[in-house]
Every structure is written in structure tokens, then in C-alpha cells.
Amino acid sequence: MKRIIATLLTSLCLGAGLTSTALASEGGIEWDRFPTHKMNDLAALQNGAKIFVNYCLNCHSANFMRYNRLKDIGLTEEQIKGNLLFASEKVGETMKVSLDPKQAKDWFGATPPDLTVIARSRADGAKGTGADYLYTYLRKYYRDETKATGWNNLAFPSVAMPHVLWELQGVRTAKFEEQKDPHDPSKVTHVFKDFVQVTPGTMTPQQYDESVADLVAYLQWMGEPAQGQRFRLGIIVVLFLLGFTVFAWRLNASYWKDIK
């Protein structure tokens, strides 16, 4: 992400101050690497879609994503209708949510953002892709009773969203170590040390990481369902142009051999 604040323009445009999203991407922790091989794994994408519909789609919409597009990751229309749709919904509809945005804001303090292109919007040129961020974020929740939701997140401090996947991961707390601020010895900073598992989840940590990777793969795919086709077509186009360049080069040479 390009970081620009115009000193000259500060007064014009930066009245509102930093948002919590900004704080999360600013400084903060290093992002883990999303296992990109999941993008070529239809089973992982389908599992991700299932987790998405069951856990995320209750509060978050995906307003630009049609259910029947899931056929692109190998699901049949019957599977989509049978497993992922409520009876009232049609397979050609987009992934809407019935949650009222005003109520959501009252409950959580923030409106849950639409997730259709979330993976594209969260990239940061210096830190990693949007998928890297989401993969990190969904694995960095811990119990924090000082927060209204009872949850906090290392990748997104004071996040409004509670840990929706907590049953899968179990309850963890975070251990912080007090350290003297190197710039100001009178201050003490809290440096993250480790997570402590309080109660086990229904999944082992490895299974949980796999499931989150599947979910993130799905989010990444949903951000641009044509991306696989784009890549495959690109290889053909570039190969064709390579051949055409050779042809154009030789054609040019045969015309220009007369020019002395």
C-alpha cells in the first residue's frame, strides 16, 4: 500500500484520523504466508465455501457473489441448493445477509464489511497479499476480558468481530512480557510472547490452520472468480504473441532488406 500523507493537504483531508483498520496494517505484527497451493485444490475451496456460508455469512454479506458461481469450484447446482442455500433463496441470487446494518453497528460497534472482495482490499505492498493478512488475522484471536466481545486479535487489535471460529480453535489467552520502551525508559511496553490454550477446540491446531487456509482460499477465489481462467488464458496469449513477434520481426526484415 502506498503511504501518502500530504503535509500540505493534511488540513483538507485528514480530519477523521486513523481508523482501526489502519492501525492494524500500520506497524503491527508480521503476516504469515498463506499456503497458495490451496488455490488449486478444489476440495479445499469447497470446504472453504462451506465454512464461509456456515460461519461468516450470518453477519457478513458477499453482495456481488452469486451462489451459482460456486459451480466454478466444482459444486453442482443440487449441492449448492441442498447444502448452502436457505429454502427461500434462489441459486442465481447473490450472497445477501438479513442482518440490519444499523443494528449490527449498535451490537458490534462497526458494520460488518461486505466480504466479496475483502481479500483484494487487504493487501499491502510491503507486508503481503490480502490472503496472507486474512490467514494471519483469523489465527491470531485470543481471550481478552477487557474487551466488550471478550476477544482480541494480535493482527487487528481491538477488533469489533468476536472469535466466530472459537469452537473449532478452542479458547486461548495471550501471554505478554513487559519490556522497557527502548525510546522512553519510563514507559513499559507489552510484547507478545505466546498463546496459552485454555480449553481445547474441536480441532487440533493443525486442523484449524488447514481449515482457515481453506476459508481464506475461498475468500481469495471469491474476490476474483475469473482468476484461474485469467491465468490459463494469459499463458496462451503470451505464447501466441511470442510467435507473432518472431513473425513480425522476420516480415519487417524482409521488407527492410531493400533499404540501403
Partner 1 sequence: MAEFKEISPNASAGAKLENWLHNRFPTAFDAYKVHMSEYYAPKNFNFWYFFGSLALLVLVIQIVTGIFLVMHYKPDAANAFASVEYIMRDVPWGWLIRYMHSTGASAFFIVVYLHMFKAMIYGSYRKPRELVWIFGCLIFLMLMAEAFFGYLLPWGQMSYWGAQVIVNLFSAVPFVGPDLALLIRGDYVVSDATLNRFFSFHVIAIPLVLIGLVVAHLFALHDVGSNNPDGIDIKAKDQPKDEHGHPVDGIPFHPYYTVHDMVGVSVFLMVFSAIIFFAPELGGYFLEFNNFIPADPLKTPPHIAPVWYFTPFYSMLRATTDVMVQVLCGVIAISAIITLLRGGLSTLGKGIVVVGAVVGIALLLTFDAKFWGVVVMGGAVIILFFLPWLDHSPVKSIRYRPDWHKYLYGIFVALFLVLGYLGVKPPSDAGTIVSQIGTLYYFGFFLLMPWWSKAGQFKPVPDRVTFHPH
| 46, 95, 130, 172: which one binds partner 1 (CB under 8 A) | 130
User: Which residues does 66 contact at the CB level (< 8 Å), separation at least 6?
Assistant: 92, 93, 94, 95
To partner 1, the closest distance from the beta carbon of 130 in angstroms equals: 7
Q: Is 5 in the site for partner 1 (CB under 8 A)?
A: yes
| Contact positions with partner 1 (CB under 8 A) in 68-87 | 69
Question: Is residue 90 part of the contact set for partner 1 (CB under 8 A)?
Answer: no
Stretch of residues binding partner 1 (CB under 8 A), selected from 11-19, 49-57, 181-189, 193-201: 11-19
User: Hunting for cell 484449524 — which residue is that?
Assistant: 208
- Binders of partner 1 among 173-212, rule CB under 8 A? none
**Number of residues near partner 1 (by CB under 8 A):** 60
Q: Among 58, 76, 121, 207, which residue sits at the site for partner 1 (rule: CB under 8 A)?
A: 121
Helix (H/G/I), strand (E/B), else coil: 135: helix
Terminal Cα-to-Cα distance of the chain (whole angstroms): 52
Q: Does 147 bind partner 1 (CB under 8 A)?
A: no
The alpha carbon of residue 27 and the mean position of all alpha carbons in its chain are separated, in whole angstroms, by 18
Q: Please check whether residue 144 is in contact with residue 171, taking contact to mean a CB–CB distance below 8 angstroms.
A: no
| Among 142, 138, 139, residue whose Cα is nearest residue 197 | 142
- Interface residues for partner 1 in 16-75 (CB under 8 A)? 16-19, 22, 26, 63-66, 69
Interacting residue with partner 1 among 124, 144, 209, 210 (CB under 8 A): 124
Secondary structure (DSSP) of 48-78: HHHHIIIIITTT--EEEEEGGGGGGGT--HH
Q: How far apart are CA 82 and CA 73, in angstroms?
A: 16
Q: Could you give the CA distance from residue 62 to residue 118 in angstroms, rounded to a whole number? A: 9
N residues, the chain: 260
Give least dist CB 94 to partner 1, A: 9
Binding region for partner 1 (CB under 8 A) out of 151-159, 184-192, 193-201, 221-229: 221-229
- Which residues of the chain form contacts with partner 1 (CB under 8 A)? 1-9, 12-19, 22, 26, 63-66, 69, 113-114, 116-117, 120-125, 130, 223-226, 230-231, 233-235, 237-238, 241-242, 244-245, 248-249, 251-253, 255-257, 259-260
